Amino acid sequence: MAQVGQSKGFAPKEPPKLNPPLSTPISVSHLAQCDGLSPSYPTYVAIKGTVFDVSGNTAYAPKGAYHVFAGKDPSRALALSSLKAEDCRPDWEDLGDKEKQVLSDWFTFFSKRYNIVGQVRE
């Protein structure tokens, strides 16, 4: 997995036109349905409870390198720079400062590329 902190500013070469962030409540069960396996649903990835629509990126599609993150809040895995399914979970508060910074960098990276479509709610 690429290290996010290696690029300054995290801005894409050609910034996408993003919609204003939404705060729509999204249940964990609905998030799980947005895993890229059904054409009836978009593909979502949540970070620290914020849900991003990554539908246009094939990396999150079923055979993509980051499909393990689709339909989940993989905050812990992102903080640990892990692609392990068992690390794809939302808890991250117990991690060290270095890992928290990596997670913050990933949040910034996603926020500059993907629309925020809601917030995970139980």
What pLDDT digit, counting tens, does each position of 52-93 carry? 999 999 999 999 999 999 999 999 999 999 999 999 999 999
Q: How far is CA 86 from CA 65, 68, 114, in A?
A: 16, 10, 25
Neighbours of 104 (CB within 10 A): 16
Residues 6+ apart with CB under 8 A from 85: 68
Specify the pLDDT at position 122. 79
Q: Which of 62, 30, 45 is nearest to 111 (CA)?
A: 45
pLDDT at 65: 97
81 C-beta neighbours (distance < 10 Å), count:
15
Which DSSP state fits 13?
S
Q: What pLDDT, on a 0 to 100 scale, did the predictor assign at position 6?
A: 44
pTM of the model: 0.90
Per-residue pLDDT band for 13 (boundaries 50, 70, 90) equals: confident
